[in-house]
Amino acid sequence: MPTIVTMPKWGLTMTSGTITGWSREEGDPVTEGVPLLTVETEKAVDDVEAPASGVLRKIVAAVGSEVPVMGAVAVITAPGEDLSDEDVQALVATTSEATAAASGAAPRVAREGRQAARDASGRVNASPAARKRAGELGIDLATVEATGPGGRITSEDVERAAVEVAASAAAPRTEVFELADGTKIAALLAGPADATETIVFLHGLGGSQSTWASVLGHFAETYRVAAVDLPGHGASDKPSPASTDYSISGIAAKLGEFLEKLELAPSILIGHSLGGATALQLALDRPKLVRALVLVDSAALGLEINDELLDRIESAPSRDEARRLLELFFEDRRFVLERGINDMHAARNALGADDAVKAIAASAFTRRGQNLVLVDRLGELEVPLLVIWGELDRVIPSRHAVAAVTALPTAWLEIMEGVGHVPQVEAAPAFAEIVNRWLLSIPGP
Amino acid sequence: MVTETATRTMTYQQAINEALQIAMREDPTVVLLGEDIAGGAMVDHLVNDDAWGGPMGVTKGLVQEFGRDRVLDTPITEAGFIGAAVGAAATGLRPVAELMFVDFFGCCMDQIFDQGAKLRYMFGGKAKCPVTIRTQIGAGVSAAGQHSGCHYSVFAHMPGIKCIVPSTPADAKGLLLSAIRDDDLVMFFENKVLYGTKGDVPEGDEGIPLGVADIKRVGDDVTIVAISRMVQQALAAADTLAAEGIEAEVIDPRTLSPLDEETILSSVAKTHRLLVVDEDNPRCSAATDIAAMVADKGFDTLDAPIKRVTAPHTPVPFSPPLEQFYVPSPDRIVDAVREIV
């Protein structure tokens, strides 16, 4: 059976990719899992592996062409399989039709939309069915383009407008919220507008919301998601340590204020490493803002912290340091990519970032271990708790996870085998499934 | 599991003839009355000849099988033989009378509407009037103003009368069987232009229930409710529209009273647009009635004004070009749909 190689979707915001190179030519044998081509997106360049072994029968998209996500780029035939040019074309055509269909179907009777007609009193010309649908869907008729005869808005026009509103609300976008002290907090928001629950994602020390890129899409189908850049990180403000409280409780207070601004509380909090400690602190300080808590390789659940992390953070933020940091984080070295090193290096060198990260680290950790250990207070939690840990985490040992669920026996524990400090990147699909399954098992809001 | 019924191709006229034959074989109280429906009565050299079988030959052959006691030639006296049929129905027979052209209803309206239609009501349900009146409707054969009207809306207006408007041979057979078996006065309107049209007709004696519409063509973009011969015009228009990407749903109500409102309303709920096509005159008509019903009960499903394509408010002209203009054409139906889609 032939296999169609398609443009992958890396992260929530990717809509297309440009092909920068093919490592095989038509007619060459290919092996499943071996890089076949390189693709450049807005943010990164990466390899796409062959999805099957066989022969590279046809390259559909040449170097330099931009292909939408899920669009066909090549066809691989099984060893010994014979496929005519017509069959190749037909295969590719079905893929492009499917891609086009997924991007929105046209109305049956194609007619240009235009501004709806109004009578002398300003009443919009809309059919009875359109008025009823507009009421049901909460659509303002004044904003709807008319395709009906005489500039009349039809029920289909209203439905189309509702889809557009939902799509624009659901489209991933970065928004900035200003806190009372003037600190601006950036967050990537996505998910259906009519979703009833929100998940807030909190990254670790020196990271950014991009750490969740591989899993956000899974959750954004059902939930509203907000991946936050903590103060001193990513696109959020990085005030001087002299003027701001960079302790975990200080960051938790800012996060609480952010959640109130977002008007989406109580939210499900998923925190990684230092973000986990922040989430836990907030759940203890402001229980009304939190509906459920997921701690991933989290700080504040035990004393130990690898000195090497502190060495890296305390060093000047060079490119080599960035590489060593990633090597410490990931068990699987394939995740230590040039792109990741470049991102980390750039992030550490952003104005104010290094001072902020060093200040946070100094407040949270010393060579004797973590300053904040909340494991004895887990019993105070009023919300369900899930603890996820990479079995081979070299930054914070997985026995902290065991200590946490020992202290709070109602908590759920998942140890992910063979994974290091960042399971949401190293084992993204399994991570998403664990969280999704757990979210379905806990009581509703 | 539904068993496939065998069908044969026959004309609308043959299908009606077959229904009459089946009904007369299954029930000895079924008798036929009408002008020249056998032919040759009281004329020595014609009495054994199948001279007529009605003006269109619809009853041909029945006098030979069932005899002159059950296939009665009557004088040209609508008041007389329709009155006789109503009286016979009230006293135990199941007559099928033929009013040659509906345009003649004025001569026998007392017997139909003041006697037959009211019997069951006025006797508190103790009397019934199982009479079927077959009659010809429709313009298109240059039969002029006194032999070409439709006028079924007059009968649908009156309580106590069931009105059937078959558009295909199969519907004609199945609906006529149900009409004869029904215990109320039923008007059965045969469109004379359809007599020669052919279609598949099931074998056997199964009737089609009264008050159940038939979706003759499925579509998502506009609902066309078409009556009698207008079903054929609407189907022709739907083919033209399909070439433009407009899929029309054509609904044949088959009976105007009772009317299958649910099928019409659910189709309009899907297409959001309604056109009613009726060869009858437009004022106080079946088309107006259906439009008003949907405007009332389906208002919130409408995306466009309800349109009607009907004959003008005049008698049928004799002049062939004028008559052609008079009857709603596929072109007029297509134009009306384009206005609302």
* DSSP output for B286-317: HHHHHHHHHHHHSGGG-SS--EEEE--SSPPP
- State whether A246 and A367 are in the same domain: yes
DSSP code of B332?
H
- State whether A14 and A89 are in the same domain: yes
Angstrom distance (rounded) from CA B315 to CA A352: 92
Angstrom distance (rounded) from CA A26 to CA A59: 6
- State whether A262 and A366 are in the same domain: yes
Helix (H), strand (E), coil (C) string for A361-399? HHHHEECCEECCCCHHHHHHCCCCEEEEEECCCCCCCCH
- State whether A382 and A426 are in the same domain: yes
Stretch (H or E) spanning A436: helix A428-441
Residue B250 has pLDDT above 70, yes or no: yes
DSSP symbols for A5-70 = EE----STT--EEEEEEESS-TT-EE-TTSEEEEEE-SS-EEEEE-SS-EEEEEE-S-TT-EEETT
Residue B82 has pLDDT above 70, yes or no: yes
- Among B220, B301, B341, whose Cβ lies nearest the Cβ of A129? B301
The pLDDT tens digits for B94-107 are 999 999 999 999 99
Q: What pLDDT was estimated at residue A162?
A: 83
- State whether A158 and A37 are in the same domain: no
A127-164 b/e (C-beta count within 10 Å ≥ 16 → b): bbbbbbbbeeeebebeebebbbeebbbbbbbbbbbbee
Task: Using pLDDT thresholds of 50, 70 and 90, give the confidence band for residue A64.
Answer: confident
Length of chain A: 445
Angstrom distance (rounded) from CA B30 to CA A421: 92
Classified by CATH at the fold level, domain B214-340 comes out as: Rossmann fold (3.40.50)
Q: Is A127 on the interface with B (CB under 8 A)?
A: yes
Q: What pLDDT was estimated at residue B1?
A: 46
Angstrom distance (rounded) from CA A21 to CA A39: 7
CB within 8 A of B293, min separation 6: which ones?
B259, B261, B264
- Reading the block at residue A328, the tokens are 């410490």
* Bond from prior residue into A241 cis (ω within 30 degrees of 0): no
Q: Confirm if B38 and B71 have CB atoms less than 8 A apart.
A: yes
pLDDT higher at A105 or B224: B224
Mean pLDDT within B279-293? 98
The pLDDT tens digits for A292-340 are 999 999 999 999 999 999 999 988 889 998 999 999 999 988 788 887 8
Length of chain B: 341
Query: B230-243 vs B330-340: helix axis angle to the nearest 10?
Result: 60
CATH for A176: 3.40.50.1820
- State whether A350 and A434 are in the same domain: yes
Contact A149/B245, CB-based, under 8 Å? no
Mean pLDDT within B104-125? 96
Closest A-chain CA to B242: A109
B:245-304 residues touching chain A, CB 8 A cutoff: 245-247, 272, 299-304
The alpha-carbon gap from A136 to the nearest alpha carbon of chain B, in Å, equals 12
Closest B-chain CA to A147: B341
Residue A69 has pLDDT above 90, yes or no: no
Domains B7-202 and B214-340 share a fold: yes
Task: Using pLDDT thresholds of 50, 70 and 90, give the confidence band for residue A52.
Answer: confident
- State whether A58 and A143 are in the same domain: no
Q: Which residues of B touch A127 (CB under 8 A)?
A: 272, 302-304
Q: Confirm if B151 and B112 have CB atoms less than 8 A apart.
A: no
- State whether A164 and A237 are in the same domain: no
Task: Using pLDDT thresholds of 50, 70 and 90, give the confidence band for residue A164.
Answer: confident
Provide the H-helix boundaries in A178-247: 213-220
Residue A110 has pLDDT above 60, yes or no: no
Closest A-chain CA to B337: A149
| CB count in 10 Å sphere of residue A335 | 15
Tell me the pLDDT of chain A averaged across its residues: 88
Contact A148/B302, CB-based, under 8 Å? no
Q: Confirm if B230 and B216 have CB atoms less than 8 A apart.
A: no
CATH for A18: 2.40.50.100
Domain that includes residue A30, residue range = 3-99
Q: What is the DSSP pairing of strand A45-49 with strand A35-40?
A: antiparallel
CB contacts < 8 A, A to B, total 42
Angstrom distance (rounded) from CA A333 to CA A327: 7
Residue B90 has pLDDT above 60, yes or no: yes
Q: What pLDDT was estimated at residue B113?
A: 96
Mean pLDDT within B32-51? 82
Q: What pLDDT was estimated at residue A87?
A: 83
Q: What pLDDT was estimated at residue A99?
A: 55
- Among B220, B272, B340, whose Cβ lies nearest the Cβ of A155? B272
Best B221, B265, B297, B303 member to test A by mutation, with max A CBs in 10 Å, is B303
CATH for A124: 4.10.320.10
Best B247, B270, B272 member to test A by mutation, with max A CBs in 10 Å, is B272
The pLDDT tens digits for A218-231 are 898 889 999 999 99
Q: Is residue A108 part of a domain?
A: no
Q: What pLDDT was estimated at residue A138?
A: 84
Catalytic residue IDs of B:
147
Angstrom distance (rounded) from CA B304 to CA B259: 23
pLDDT higher at B113 or A96: B113
- Among A108, A149, A156, whose Cβ lies nearest the Cβ of B340? A149
Q: What pLDDT was estimated at residue B156?
A: 97
- State whether A399 and A357 are in the same domain: yes
Residue A244 has pLDDT above 80, yes or no: yes
Q: What pLDDT was estimated at residue A103?
A: 45
The pLDDT tens digits for A414-440 are 999 999 999 999 988 899 999 999 999
**Alpha-carbon distance values, A339 to A41, A230, A319, A353, A425 (Å):** 11, 22, 12, 19, 14
- State whether A304 and A417 are in the same domain: yes
Tell me the pLDDT of chain B averaged across its residues: 95
Task: Using pLDDT thresholds of 50, 70 and 90, give the confidence band for residue A105.
Answer: very low
Mean pLDDT within A193-203? 89
Q: What pLDDT was estimated at residue A43?
A: 57
| CB count in 10 Å sphere of residue A392 | 18
Q: What residues pair up with A227 in beta bridges, in sequence order? A: A188, A201
Q: pLDDT exceeding 70 applies to what percent of chain A? A: 94
Tell me which of A99, A127, A151 is where a domain ends: A99
Residue B314 has pLDDT above 70, yes or no: yes
Q: Confirm if A200 and A270 have CB atoms less than 8 A apart.
A: yes
CB within 8 A of B292, min separation 6: which ones?
none
The alpha-carbon gap from B262 to the nearest alpha carbon of chain A, in Å, equals 18
Q: What pLDDT was estimated at residue A108?
A: 45
What is the number of structural domains in chain A?
Answer: 3
Closest A-chain CA to B268: A129
Q: Which of B162, B177, B270 is nearest to B222 (CA)?
A: B270
Q: What pLDDT was estimated at residue A120?
A: 79
| Beta-strand runs (E) in A166-206 | 173-178, 184-190, 198-202
Q: Is residue A104 part of a domain?
A: no
The alpha-carbon gap from A164 to the nearest alpha carbon of chain B, in Å, equals 20
DSSP code of A153?
B
Contact B245/A127, CB-based, under 8 Å? no
Q: What pLDDT was estimated at residue A62?
A: 87
Q: CATH number for the B7-202 domain, one of 3.40.50.2000, 3.40.190.10, 3.40.50.970, 3.40.50.300?
A: 3.40.50.970
Q: Confirm if A234 and A347 have CB atoms less than 8 A apart.
A: yes
Contact A109/B221, CB-based, under 8 Å? yes
The pLDDT tens digits for A362-371 are 999 998 999 9
The pLDDT tens digits for A250-302 are 999 999 999 998 887 799 999 999 999 999 999 999 999 999 999 999 999 99
Best A111, A141, A154 member to test B by mutation, with max B CBs in 10 Å, is A154
Q: Confirm if B236 and B309 have CB atoms less than 8 A apart.
A: no
Closest B-chain CA to A158: B303
Q: Is B220 on the interface with A (CB under 8 A)?
A: yes
Where are chain B's structural domains? 7-202, 214-340
- Reading the block at residue B302, the tokens are 């409408």
Q: Is A409 on the interface with B (CB under 8 A)?
A: no
Task: Using pLDDT thresholds of 50, 70 and 90, give the confidence band for residue A98.
Answer: low
- ipTM value for the complex: 0.76
- State whether A229 and A159 are in the same domain: no
